[in-house]
Structure 1
């Protein structure tokens, strides 16, 4: 398959490498900054372009791997007489943003991507949505060459997945940073809580999260929670987060008890 990557960031880098390793030809890499396109194109042995009018019109897939806010603008600039499938990689963007193309779809990898970290995509779920069954079979087959977990999903399901990923990944990482900063304030190393972070992550691989919840809020230990709350009084934002999440744990505990 001949593929044009429209984008040169984290997702474009990982998917470009994965599809190239699977035997597909990355024909072009587009970025509005030619240096960025060239950096990835050199890795993938492809042509770098910085003008959407330069896109190869005879490729099989045009993978729009840009930020969510840029998808609509980029799609507007892509020639409409393409023969192949135009697909974006977003979890939060409706498939209808590509409705001007006869063949269109979505390849959504449920994963966190960083250019400087190697990633085995074989365990990454890929959600596929297309405007025709024929296109679905093509994208399903393509994603299935790099992942063992490929499935059909609609726009609403993708959005649910994306929001879930934000809670589980982005928000938890922000909480890790609070932990890091709190420890640093008291001359302690973040290494001291890395084991408990790993243990928690491993537990939810085989259990429903609420079933392995621990901590003072679950135990209704108001004395400890008040001590914690007062200890971080110089950080009102942390206090608010602490209170809100504790209230959520308490509510979940009460609902579980009722059931």
Structure 2
């Protein structure tokens, strides 16, 4: 396929590199920031533009790899005359936002991607949805060459997948930062809890999280929890988080 990447961020970078390695041709990269567009275009050896009017009208696929917040506005600015498939890669945005075009879909990876971190797309499940079954099947076929774990998922399933990823990744990462800050206040290195972070991640690869839950809330160790809450008095937000999560763990054991 001949492809145009609209956006020059992490997802555009990894999919562009992956598609190109899989034999597809990236013909152009668009970004509002000309330098960003050129930077990715140089990697992919293709044209770059910061003008919507200059986007190639003859691509087989247009990937809208931009933020959820800017997607609705940009969609309304793009020509409806495109014959190729138009796809976005948002987990929380509906498929129907692209209904200005005849063929459209979604390619969503529940994965945190960074340009500077090598990523094996073959290990990432991509949720695929098309406006027709033919488009869905075609997108899965094309994606499977570089990401064999790609699968069909409707808009509601994709939203659930996105929400699950937020809990598993974004929220847990915020908890790691709180833990690091608690240690830093006592001049303790974050390296001291990196092993338990890895161990927890390892366990959930083979077990249901509830089956391997540990800690004072799991044991209903009221005395220890009170000491923790007293320690957190100077950080009311952390204290509230501690209380809510501990209560959830206790209720889950009933």
TM bracket (short chain):
over 0.9
The alpha-carbon deviation at position 119 of structure 1 amounts to 0.9
Which residue is equivalent to 1:213?
213
The alpha-carbon deviation at position 233 of structure 1 amounts to 1.4
Are 2:106 and 1:106 equivalent residues in the alignment? yes
For 1:68-98, what per-residue CA distance to the aligned partner results, in whole angstroms no more than 9, with x for missing partners?
Answer: 1111111111111111100000000000100
Which residue is equivalent to 1:257?
none
Are 2:68 and 1:68 equivalent residues in the alignment? yes
Which residue is equivalent to 1:184?
184
For 1:154-204, what per-residue CA distance to the aligned partner results, in whole angstroms no more than 9, with x for missing partners?
Answer: 100000000110000000000000011111111111111111000000111
The alpha-carbon deviation at position 206 of structure 1 amounts to 1.1
Which residue is equivalent to 1:80?
80
Which residue is equivalent to 1:20?
20
Which residue is equivalent to 1:31?
31
Which residue is equivalent to 1:125?
125
Tell me how large the CA RMSD over aligned residues is: 0.8
- Paired with 2:115 and 2:61, the residues of 1 have a C-alpha distance of 22
Say which SS state the counterpart of residue 69 (structure 1) adopts.
Answer: coil
Moved more, 108-117 or 168-177: 108-117
- Paired with 2:115 and 2:175, the residues of 1 have a C-alpha distance of 23
Are 2:24 and 1:9 equivalent residues in the alignment? no
Which residue is equivalent to 2:94?
94
Gaps of 5+ in 1: 255-259
Matches within 5 A, 1:219-234: 219-234=219-234
Which residue is equivalent to 1:203?
203
Which residue is equivalent to 1:251?
251
- Paired with 1:189 and 1:18, the residues of 2 have a C-alpha distance of 38
- Paired with 2:19 and 2:75, the residues of 1 have a C-alpha distance of 22
Say which SS state the counterpart of residue 137 (structure 2) adopts.
Answer: helix
- Paired with 1:181 and 1:115, the residues of 2 have a C-alpha distance of 27
- Paired with 2:207 and 2:134, the residues of 1 have a C-alpha distance of 37
Q: Which runs of 4+ in 1 moved over 3 A?
A: none
TM-score, length basis structure 1: 0.96
Say which SS state the counterpart of residue 87 (structure 1) adopts.
Answer: strand
TM-score, length basis structure 2: 0.98
- Paired with 1:148 and 1:197, the residues of 2 have a C-alpha distance of 29
